[in-house]
A and B are shown apart, each in its own frame.
Chain A
């Protein structure tokens, strides 16, 4: 399925306002086809747009969250070709043709992914802001080399910060899924 969703890039990226002569002739937008959750999005985007901003602001999938915007908190974690990455530290243009999965592509309210269901069952969140990133990381972890004990899970989940401190329940949810799938 293909559809076109082009939005004005009228949001401000970074903090520079001065027009630099050396960049004055650069095209303001570049065409790219981004495949997210099985759908192709034909976009014209500002080359500065991170994958995170593209997913949220251009495509309109706001389940992926922006926390630190510097790769330090993990809230923006999505899958690219099956691997989890921080979408804030990668440019959209690097990912044309790649298979991108966001939290919206994992399950639906009626048919939750087992990891989503486990986070509910084990109360793996409080405010919920980090949760989509936590779940995307946790789902990717299922296919990564990871020792059986809690310490191994904690080490591989250290790139996802939870300021509410729901870590104990997040680990319990992940271990439940690992033992039951």
Chain B
């Protein structure tokens, strides 16, 4: 691990001022906010992340979950994943989020990992994690070893010729389906970012993973008021039953009235270079009878743009079946 300076900013303003001195924003930056550390400390050991300054934000007042006046929920940046998953209102009104979080990592890691840290969780692509290999995300311009290498786990949606690394988060998939908003404080004040606009596709800048700028500090995530009567399912398919990243996962929030789908939000995990909201699937579902044929059509629509790599063609059908099954389960709930 490279040497670094450890600081604990007194308040958000000093954290932002210190963070704004970074050459780039957050992931891979020379100055990094430190929350749970489960991704960052791991990658620092591998010298994939080599910050010279860590700004410990764990004691800033962002560790609460509060009701919002509009009936939604405000989730602080440093709320631990386990506390979020077990929060009574989350379990009742945003069940897909609780299910998604509890399907990820282990109990020990969920006790450390935070809301904001999970938003910024980095890929598990083995070439990204290995300094000896080319990787455009870790070291722009060196190439992508995964395209001609071991890519079974990697993305089939949203990839580019420069990067096929998938986003590993479960929490983010649920937040995409819940249409969460990410609240950020930066050098120019506060702003909110729609969940779908937060993560970037790799394109020819795979090292840029989010729209954050140097100094931008995520303060909380806001969930809109719950959709009354909606049913929630997070289904995760993986190589072993627990403590494993998704090969494919689906977050589904769906309302069915008298056999007809009146509301549908769909997002996929494990398959995309970012948490993959599928408006194509939502459009295919809304206003149509809730039946197996239409669920399959929605899945076909969600995966229409999928491009397999040499080892992960199976993920296309797997993701379709995952989404179809999740929709079936939710509509029978």
Q: Which residues of A pack against B, CB within 8 Å?
A: 13-16, 20, 22-23, 26-27, 30, 47-48, 50, 69-71, 74, 77, 80, 83-86, 89-91, 93-94, 137, 140-141, 144-145, 154-156, 158-160
Contacts and interface: CB of A to CB of B under 8 A. Distances in A.
B41 A89 contact: yes
B58 interface: yes
A134 B85 CA distance: 23
Given A13-B1, A22-B52, A90 B112 contact: yes
A71 B38 contact: yes
A176 B141 CA distance: 57
12 contacts: A22-B30, A22-B52, A26-B5, A48-B4, A71-B38, A86-B38, A90-B112, A91-B34, A140-B107, A144-B107, A159-B106, A159-B108
A70 B106 contact: no
Given A48-B3, A158-B106, 14 more contacts: A14-B2, A15-B47, A16-B1, A22-B52, A23-B52, A26-B52, A48-B1, A69-B45, A83-B82, A86-B109, A94-B37, A144-B107, A145-B86, A158-B242
Q: B3, B34, B112: which has the most chain A beta carbons within 10 Å?
A: B3
B132 to A, nearest CB: 11
A137 to B, nearest CB: 7
Interface residues of B, number: 32
Contact of B108 (A50, A85, A145): A85
Interface in B96-143: 105-109, 111-112
Contact of A94 (B1, B56, B80): B56
Nearest to A90: B37
Interface centre among A23, A140, A145 (most CB of B within 10 A): A23
Q: Which 3 A-B pairs have the closest CB atoms?
A: A159-B106, A158-B242, A14-B1
Contact of A91 (B3, B37, B86, B243): B37
